[in-house]
Structure 1
Amino acid sequence: MLQPPKSTLVIDPHSLTDDEIVELCQVYKSDRSRLLSPKECGTKVVALTDDLAVKFGVSVRLEEARTQQFAHESISRTVLRIPKVYRFFSRPESRWNSIGYLVMEKIDGLTLQQQDDDGNNNKWDEPGIISRIAAALDALHSISGTTRPGPVSGGLAYGYLYAEKSSETEFHNINDLESYLNDRLALFGRSVSLAGQELCLCHMDVAPRNFMIDTNGQLCLIDWAAAGFYPRYFELWSMLFASYCSSCQFGPALLQSLKMTTTPAVEDTELENLTMVYRFNMRCAT
């Protein structure tokens, strides 16, 4: 059996074989000192060493790894720290599913949600936190340059706007995305036009659990599973959705800050339309 590396040992992430990483993940997912994700979560994140972490599960995909690394390379660390991706591979779990393994930089710190759980109520509401997050997201949203919605390398889009959390088709242009939305909005007698909407890099799961403050006080953003290029107001909707699911006022507070810098102004009907798309997908899933 492979001997687990000591946490203080510096390991080249490329020196471990895929088999070794899989074996270590199986050992460490039951080790509370190594498990970085909530124990009840199907997708696991474990610490291999002080500097290396692995995220693995059936919902961990190549699209996430590529988008996360693109974001890491595209935004200044002084504005927003994003874990560097070292490698990705997958292993068949069954005839239908594979388990993805994303090997990345490990960041020491606590998420804003963890800090709240530790008794620091509304850590995100401390002076300056919302403005720092808003500035970081403004920088993220300034990254554009593509006319193809979805993950940076193409492929299926994932997240709360899609049936079974997948779009089930690639969007080759913004008209494809518009058609996807309108096919679902027709049930409610609604429609949307994305004409004139520019695509920018969006995280699409903006919530306290995905923001960290590292040991140096640097703001960090993790979990890029749903990220890709979308109209900016899609990001604003994701904040409200996350807050609705958790009964937290983080989303509305951040949305108010971001709306001030959004051009053109976001109409409430645009956000409502995305909620209707979500409801359509949930109806079809039941």
Structure 2
Amino acid sequence: MELSVRLSPQRRLIHQCDKAKAQCNVVSGHDGGTQVLRISDSIVAKCGPGVRPSEAATQKHAYRYLSCRAVRVPEVIRYFQDHSDASRPVGYLFMEYITGKTLADLDFGVDDVPSRLAGVIAELRRLPGDVPGPVGGGVPHGPLWGDDASTEEFGSLEDLNRWLNKRLEPAGRTIDLRSYPLVLCHLDLCSRNIMITEGDMICLLGWGHAGFFPRFFEIAAASCVDDEAAYAQDLLRAIQGVAKPTEKDQECVDLLLKARPASSRY
């Protein structure tokens, strides 16, 4: 089946996705938005207007370079966009199906998840980057950027500094990120994106917000995660335990969160 997905015409694969919807082979999501569809015993397709090339590229990078002993990442088999509606292209991300249950499905019933997440976050931070944002370029997405996107692709930390400082200007504050190395950050570690596999490993899903950023961006993203309160608190503690933020780091987190609502005005 994997070879078929790699070689089949796009229209045939789109038809397979439509057939999976009609047969109610929906793993998650809702009609009209992003859905994950079971295509075969070993492959799922994530499809929708919000499934972007940058997500596929970042997930591929994570699969290739993260230690499989520390964290599982589904292998990307193929990605393309359907431009039938030029104003609203639909992305199709075909990937390995990994058996397990997300923390949302488990109702947070795994006691050692916070400590295990700390190890996963430490592994993410091991991967360096040169340019802020998703692997291969693109506009960053997610709640840190206001209305779900920065509206700008960053070519350097100076670009990111300028973007943030423009939004901090009304508050009379500034931020300087130039001394911080860029590391891989997931930025969407909500319970539906963390799976416990049948082999009792943590698997990270949902790479649409991920990219290379200063390490404390993961703390800022966890501070505004939309999830059950107890889980959100455990997640934040786990990240802080790994990051061990300095006073300057915490000040930068506060400034990121201050810039976030201002982003909606630009």
Q: TM-score, normalised by structure 2?
A: 0.92
2:214 to 220, 224, 231: 231
> Structure 1 residue 100 and structure 2 residue 78: aligned?
no
Q: CA deviation at 1:94?
A: 2.3
CA–CA separation in structure 2 for the residues paired with 1:247 and 1:191: 32
Encode CA deviations 1:70-93: one digit per residue, 9 max, x unaligned.
000001112100000011111114
CA–CA separation in structure 1 for the residues paired with 2:31 and 2:79: 24
- Residue in structure 1 matched with residue 115 of structure 2 by the alignment: 131
Q: 1:52 to 1:181 in 2, by over 3 A?
A: same
Q: Match for 2:124: what amino acid?
A: L
Q: 1:114 to 1:74 in 2, by over 3 A?
A: same
> Structure 1 residue 197 and structure 2 residue 180: aligned?
yes
Encode CA deviations 1:55-79: one digit per residue, 9 max, x unaligned.
1111111111010000000011121
Equivalences for 1:154-233 in 2 at 5 Å? 154-233=137-216
Q: TM-score, normalised by structure 1?
A: 0.86
* 1:259/1:265 contact within 8 Å kept: no
List gaps (5 residues or longer) in structure 1: 1-8, 117-121
CA–CA separation in structure 1 for the residues paired with 2:14 and 2:68: 30
CA–CA separation in structure 2 for the residues paired with 1:10 and 1:155: 28
Equivalences for 1:117-128 in 2 at 5 Å? 122-124=108-110, 126=111, 128=112
Q: 1:190 to 1:249 in 2, by over 3 A?
A: farther
> Structure 1 residue 56 and structure 2 residue 76: aligned?
no
- Residue in structure 1 matched with residue 262 of structure 2 by the alignment: 280
* 2:121/2:242 contact within 8 Å kept: no
Of the structure 1 ranges 153-162 and 171-180, higher mean CA displacement relative to structure 2 is found in 153-162
CA–CA separation in structure 2 for the residues paired with 1:15 and 1:253: 43
CA–CA separation in structure 2 for the residues paired with 1:72 and 1:197: 25
CA–CA separation in structure 2 for the residues paired with 1:203 and 1:10: 26
- Residue in structure 1 matched with residue 68 of structure 2 by the alignment: 77
> Structure 1 residue 265 and structure 2 residue 246: aligned?
yes
- Residue in structure 2 matched with residue 110 of structure 1 by the alignment: 101
> Structure 1 residue 253 and structure 2 residue 244: aligned?
no
Of the structure 1 ranges 56-65 and 270-279, higher mean CA displacement relative to structure 2 is found in 270-279
Q: CA deviation at 1:27?
A: 2.2
Give the 3-state SS of the residue equivalent to 1:165 in structure 2.
Answer: coil
- Residue in structure 2 matched with residue 5 of structure 1 by the alignment: none
Q: 1:263 to 1:174 in 2, by over 3 A?
A: farther
CA–CA separation in structure 2 for the residues paired with 1:259 and 1:161: 18
**Percent identity, aligned pairs only?**
30
Q: How many residues end up aligned between the 2 structures?
A: 265
Q: Match for 2:241: what amino acid?
A: M
Give the 3-state SS of the residue equivalent to 1:178 in structure 2.
Answer: helix
Q: 1:68 to 1:10 in 2, by over 3 A?
A: closer
Q: Match for 1:206: what amino acid?
A: L
Q: Match for 2:18: what amino acid?
A: Q
RMSD over equivalenced CA pairs, Å: 2.0
* 2:139/2:150 contact within 8 Å kept: yes
Q: 1:218 to 1:12 in 2, by over 3 A?
A: farther
Q: 1:10 to 1:103 in 2, by over 3 A?
A: closer
1:24 to 11, 16, 20: 16
2:59 to 68, 71, 77: 68
Give the 3-state SS of the residue equivalent to 2:224 in structure 1.
Answer: helix
- Residue in structure 2 matched with residue 147 of structure 1 by the alignment: 130
Give the 3-state SS of the residue equivalent to 2:152 in structure 1.
Answer: coil
